[in-house]
Every structure is written in structure tokens, then in C-alpha cells.
Amino acid sequence: MTQQPVALNRTDKPAAVASATKMVIRGVSVYYKTFRAIKNVDLPVYENRITAFIGPSGCGKSTLLRTLNRMNDLIPGARVEGKVLLDGEDIYAAGQDVVDIRRRVGMVFQRPNPFPMSVYDNVAFGLRLLGIRQKSILDEVVERSLRAAALWEHVCDNLNQSGMALSGGQQQRLCIARAIAVEPEVILMDEPTSALDPIATLTIEDLLQTLKENFTIVIVTHNMQQAARISDYTAFLSMDDDRAGYLVEFGPTVELFTNPKEKLTEDYITGRFG
């Protein structure tokens, strides 16, 4: 087998260790008007693990990710078929409170998107939405979140500076702090490092390893090495002839990268396609 040396720097991955199933994507298809962007995907998301979506650009990674907290609801003409279970409950079922789902399943975007306000107010934003007004609690949680996002040392001198004045990598960590402040159960990340330099990327990758102790993480990346470095499970998606994305293979990252079951997966990770 011609295997490109993919750095699997964490050989002691706990992937084999059993973990509860936090979310389940079951028979999900996504349509944009009449165009089917995702067809019939089945996938588990394990608790306190990092699950990576990889695949060629346009295969529907972002689309699939956004089904996990119903962000596709915001796109006119987008429609989701199938079920997405969060702790066994279908988030698309009638009567589900989408605001509450998004509180439980947070999101970090490709381009850092700090709000036009101070660092402090950025992190406190979600807390205030929840009705927390007490200064002492806000102070404590803002600090705790910024520490968890490995940003506290850089901003503690001046929490009143604008969030938009930070560097790109710091902005992204601010967005992570903002997301974890409301204590979501799952954090979705759509290519969170693709707008960042290698150093900032490494900082975020390290951060993810500590974050997964408290959160379940699903990350989209078009960078295979990144998926191999940081994730416990990997889902490889590809595109059919009708441009609909489908799941080619899902499994523990080590297995998927060292012993892929599908020819297509092997071709992709060895760089022969994609």
C-alpha cells in the first residue's frame, strides 16, 4: 500500500475506549431547493471525542455540520430529511425549541467573527442572553472561558479592548471562548483554522485536545493531516455523479488513515484524488 506519511502523533488515542453516543445522524439528506447536497448519511458523534469531517471541497461537509444545530433553517429553500438525535431526541421533531438546541450545540465559524464590542462583552454575550446579569458571575465565567480558550494571558490586562482589534488567531480563540461560555454540550467547528497561520493553527489544535474533556467536538477540515492529528473519529465524504455528498467511510481516525476499508478513502488520503 502506498501510504503517504500522515502524522498520527497521538498513538494512544482513546478511540477504542467506549464512549457514549452524543448525537446520531440518521438517514439525513439535505436539499437546497431541488439540489440534493447530502444524501442519506448515517453517522454517530461520540461524547467527549473529536469527530472530523473530511472530503473534497463542495462535498457537503459544512452542510452536514450545520444540520447538527439546525443552522440550515436560516437558509431559505434548505430542507432536511431524516433525523438528527441529540441525547436520543430528534432535534428536527415538531415542537423542538431551536434556540435551546443552538445553546446546547454551539458553533465556531471559518472566519473569526467577533462581535463589534469589547472582549468582555463578546464572551458575556451568550450569558446575558440567558438572563445572567450579576457582575460577579459574569466576571468569573468570562475569565474561566477565556482561560479555557487559552486567551486569558493575552487579554486580561485590558478586557475592554475591542474584540475586532485582536489578531486572527486570538479572534478565533475569542469566538471559542464565547461559544464555551454558555456551556454547550457539543461544539461544531467549520474549518476553524483555515483563515489562520500555522502557529495560530497549532494553538487551536492543542486547545481542542483540552476542550474535549468537557465538550463533544465536531470539526470540518479540508486538511487531512489536521484530521489525522487531532481527531478520534473521521468521516470521509465524497461527491456522487449528481454532485450529492455521501458518506464513504466512517471509523476511528487511526483505522481510517492506516487501514481504510474503501478504495476511495485510500485514494483520497494518499492524495491521488480530491
Return the one option of another protein, ligand ADP, Mg ion, none that residue 185 interacts with (CB less than 5 to 8 A, by type): none
Q: Which stretch binds ligand ADP (CB under 6 A): 53-61, 122-130, 160-168, 199-207?
A: 53-61
Return the one option of Mg ion, ligand ADP, another protein, none that residue 14 interacts with (CB less than 5 to 8 A, by type): none
- Is residue 243 part of the contact set for ligand ADP (CB under 6 A)? yes
Do residues 190 and 64 lie in contact, with contact meaning Cβ atoms separated by under 8 Å? no
Supply the DSSP symbol for 162: B
Minimum CB distance to another protein smaller for 243 or for 261: 243
- Is residue 137 part of the contact set for another protein (CB under 8 A)? yes
Supply the DSSP symbol for 188: E
CA distances (Å), 164 to each of 117, 123, 168, 171, in order? Answer: 8, 13, 9, 7
Instruction: List the one residue from 29, 39, 54, 60 that touches ligand ADP (CB under 6 A).
Output: 60
| C-alpha span between 61 and 201 (Å, rounded) | 20
Strand partners, 249: 236
Query: ∠ at Cα 204 (198, 205), nearest 5°?
Result: 85
> Which of left, alpha, beta for 234 (phi over 0: left; psi -120 to 50: alpha)?
beta
Minimum CB distance to another protein smaller for 133 or for 272: 133
- Is residue 267 part of the contact set for another protein (CB under 8 A)? no
Q: What part of residues 150-169 is at the interface with another protein (CB under 8 A)?
A: none
Q: How far is the CB of 83 from another protein (least distance, A)?
A: 23
Q: How far is the CB of 138 from another protein (least distance, A)?
A: 9
- Is residue 63 part of the contact set for ligand ADP (CB under 6 A)? yes
Q: Which of 62, 91, 43 shows the shortest CA–CA distance to 251?
A: 43
CA distances (Å), 34 to each of 11, 22, 61, 75, 80, in order? Answer: 44, 31, 19, 14, 12
Do residues 171 and 115 lie in contact, with contact meaning Cβ atoms separated by under 8 Å? no
Q: What part of residues 74-133 is at the interface with another protein (CB under 8 A)?
A: 97, 99-100, 127, 130-132
HEC secondary structure over 91-142:
CCCCCCCHHHHHHHEEEECCCCCCCCCEHHHHHHHHHHHCCCCCHHHHHHHH
Q: How far is the CB of 170 from ligand ADP (least distance, A)?
A: 25
Minimum CB distance to another protein smaller for 8 or for 32: 32
Q: What part of residues 177-216 is at the interface with another protein (CB under 8 A)?
A: 181-183
Q: Which residues bind ligand ADP (CB under 6 A)?
A: 32, 35, 37, 57-63, 75, 243
Q: Which residues bind another protein (CB under 8 A)?
A: 97, 99-100, 127, 130-132, 134, 137, 140-141, 144, 181-183
